[in-house]
Structures are given as structure tokens and as C-alpha cells.
Amino acid sequence: MNVHEAIRARHSVRDFRSTPVPEESLARVLEAARLAPSSSNRQEWRFIVVRDEDRRRRLAVAANNQMFIAVAPVIIATVATEPDSIMTCGLPRYAVDCTIAIDHVTIAAVEEGLGTCWIGAFSQEKVRDILGVGPDCMVVTIMPLGYPTSDAVPAKSRKRLQDIVRYETYTP
């Protein structure tokens, strides 16, 4: 599978098999995150791998009772270690850097035959408590990882390229 095929096949998975994720597959997915670029190569992130069933269930509850999260055999939490750091352009570093790393995870997962779903609807305080993350860091996402129950790739509804691309200057 090439990168374009993986991008086309990637979709949010909310229905997982209980089949364990092999260590080798998990290592390749995490390696993709490790290799992601970051502002000034700071790599101000940590990735917490959660396999414990009770902890996965508590994370699902903390994510507004999205219980499908607990069904996945693995949850990867992405933690920004310097959430107050701002880039020259005015954006928080973590928002850009962690997003790039997480996207690497989603694409690498597809190549491994795994599915993911970016979860942003969760209680920061509850998830920090469950994972032992201090107040000086920020949990950016919790991402279930596992084998989808279906191999079908749903159709994607996307705007046309000419509707979203501008050349040289911005025009509405």
C-alpha cells in the first residue's frame, strides 16, 4: 500500500474487533509518530499506550460515555508536554506538532490493517487523572486503535479541489 492509498482508505472507525494488536504493528504505528516533524524538532509530546481493560473503560466514560473506545484493544493518548509554547505565527506549538504526529499514526495504522478514531470529546481533568498526567501537560487526544469489524471503506464526502485551493492570494 502506498501513502495515497492509505490516505484514501483512512476513516474513523467506531466498531472494533477484540483481536489484540501485535507488538510489531503497534511498534510501527508508534514509530510513525516518533518520526513526525515538529517545530524546531522539539518533539514536545508523549504517547501513552493503554491496554488495561478497566483503564480503557474509564477513558471511554471520561470521553462522554463513548463506549466504543473501550472495545478497541489499545488506546493511544497523545500528551503535549509544553502546552504553553507558542510559535512565532501565534499558534500553540502542541496544536500543530501533535496533530502531525497523530496523523502519522492514523496513516500508519491503515497500512497495518488497523483502524483509529480521533477523540477530542473528553474531560481533560478526568483523562489526566486516569493516565497520571500532571497539570503542566495537556492531553490532546485519546485514540482507540484496533482491527475494524468491517473492511469496507465508507465513501468520503469532500469538497472539490478547486473549491478549497487558491493560488498566490486568498480569495473567498
- Tell me the domain boundaries of the chain: 3-164
CB-based contact 104:32 (threshold 8 Å): yes
Helices (H), 35-160: 53-62, 68-71, 93-111, 124-131
Express the helix, strand and coil content of the chain in percent, nearest 5 each: 40, 15, 45
Q: For 57-109, write each residue's pLDDT tens digit.
A: 999 999 999 999 999 999 999 999 999 999 999 999 999 999 999 999 999 99
CB-based contact 138:98 (threshold 8 Å): no
Cα angle 28, 31, 32 (rounded to 5 degrees) comes to 90
Q: What does the pLDDT read at residue 170?
A: 95
pTM of the entire predicted model: 0.94
Q: What does the pLDDT read at residue 1?
A: 84
Q: What does the pLDDT read at residue 153?
A: 83
DSSP class of residue 95 equals H
Q: What does the pLDDT read at residue 32?
A: 98
Strand order through the sheet with 115-116: 45-50, 74-80, 138-146, 115-116
Residue 126 pLDDT > 90: yes
Q: What does the pLDDT read at residue 156?
A: 86
Scanning the structure block, which residue is given the C-alpha cell 494488536? Answer: 21
Which CATH superfamily is 3-164 part of? NADH Oxidase (3.40.109.10)
Q: For 3-41, write each residue's pLDDT tens digit.
A: 999 999 899 999 999 999 999 999 999 999 999 999 999
Please give the Cα distance from 80 to 93 (Å, whole number).
9
In three-state secondary structure terms, 163 is helix
